[in-house]
Amino acid sequence: MTTVSDAIKQRHSARAFLDKPVSQDIVYDILETARHAPSGVNTQPWQVAVVSGESKTQLQNKMLSAFEAGESEQMDYQYYPKTWVEPFKKRRVTTGTQLYSALNIQREDKATRLAQWAANYRSFDAPVALYFFMDPSLETGSYFDYGMFVQNIMLLAIEKGLATCPQGALAEFPSIVKSTLGYDSNLILLGGMALGYEDTDHPVNQYRTERETVENFSQFFD
């Protein structure tokens, strides 16, 4: 039996998936349990689009076309800092180095690096992509709430034998996503998630990012 502790430690961002469908019933069961996440005054800010099959192909092709044409959109919120400072800058660089090293992509190979980034918009060929929306009337606290809901989904996916990759990149073309899926243009698109059966043999799924020790991020007061 997988414990909560097991699931937390097993969870990682998978970037290669098997060509194996995930039934809507399984996704429904995950969301049915994930909805019990806490939220301030029970606002439950989550709105989820479960995208697969032809709908996924259509949406990802639109994003890929925009990306390949050099087009860009303003995200609905600022995900990353505009100026990177330490220790966050080093962590970001280290993570990127690990990813490209696992794929044996050299720094000077810009074409292959771009192709790997483009894989984000296909959700790394996972059979299911989840898109997360939030009402614009809500404030910063709801981002905190939403994180707990998304973590529930990722841990429950492990229980079902699935893997995930939370993706900020899926929020980079908000107008394309919202117009294609028929969502109100005023909604905040927070991001998305690849969901499927992990290709455990793929090199990109072999490395793990490091975590700081408890001593480095915590202080205990008696």
Q: What is the pTM of this model?
A: 0.96
> Residue 2: its pLDDT value, please?
82
Residues in contact with 17: Cβ distance below 8 Å, sequence separation at least 6, in sequence order: 124, 125, 126, 127, 163, 194, 196, 197, 198, 199
- The whole-angstrom separation of Cα 138 and Cα 141 is 8
Distance of CA 124 to the CA centre of its chain: 11
What fold, for 4-79+121-206? Answer: NADH Oxidase (3.40.109)
Q: Which residues of the chain have pLDDT under 50?
A: none
In degrees and rounded to multiples of 5, residue 142 shows phi and psi of -70, -25
Give domain limits for the chain.
Answer: 4-79+121-206
> Residue 1: its pLDDT value, please?
79
Distance of CA 117 to the CA centre of its chain: 13
